Amino acid sequence: MTLTLSEAQAEVDRWIRSIGVRYFSELTNLAQLVEEVGELARVISRTYGEQSFKPGEATELSDELADVLFVLICLANQTGVDLTQALQNNLAKKTLRDVDRHRNNPKLSLPPDHPSAGSEELNPPCP
């Protein structure tokens, strides 16, 4: 199933009103968001970092990302933020601000003889 941001906002709103009864307060949802980001950090830390998973510990990165997205959409819905417009505005802001910033950052450059220089596999595009 493919959803636009607007469709996702509407779908979450329908779910909240039919299953969740009502939105939690903005402060409660902020605490929920922090909790979900912590769970996401745990999965990333154990998947890509040095720690290992505990027996029976959740390991699904996609599920943790979806939990973060769900609460973020809840916050957007209850505060009247159109995420499509907000993201478009944010990308436009970043484009103007950062047009040369990252390209000119020597910390992001690889030496020409580095095996990954010019390789798209080093930083694959987001799906």
**What does each C-alpha distance from 73 to 6, 14, 23, 32 come to in angstroms?**
10, 12, 11, 12
Q: Is residue 61 part of a domain?
A: yes
Q: Is residue 51 part of a domain?
A: yes
DSSP per residue, 26-45: HHHHHHHHHHHHHHHHHHHH
0.85 cut: is pTM over it?
no
Q: Is residue 114 part of a domain?
A: no
Structural domain including 29 reads 5-82
Q: Is residue 69 part of a domain?
A: yes
Tens of pLDDT, residues 86-102: 999 999 999 999 888 88
CATH number at residue 33: 1.10.287.1080
Higher pLDDT, 47 or 114: 47
Q: Is residue 88 part of a domain?
A: no
The number of distinct structural domains making up the chain is 1
- Can you tell me which residue has the tokens 């505005």? 89
Q: Is residue 118 part of a domain?
A: no
**54 vs 19: CA distance, rounded Å:** 32
Length of the chain: 127
Tens of pLDDT, residues 9-26: 999 999 999 999 999 999
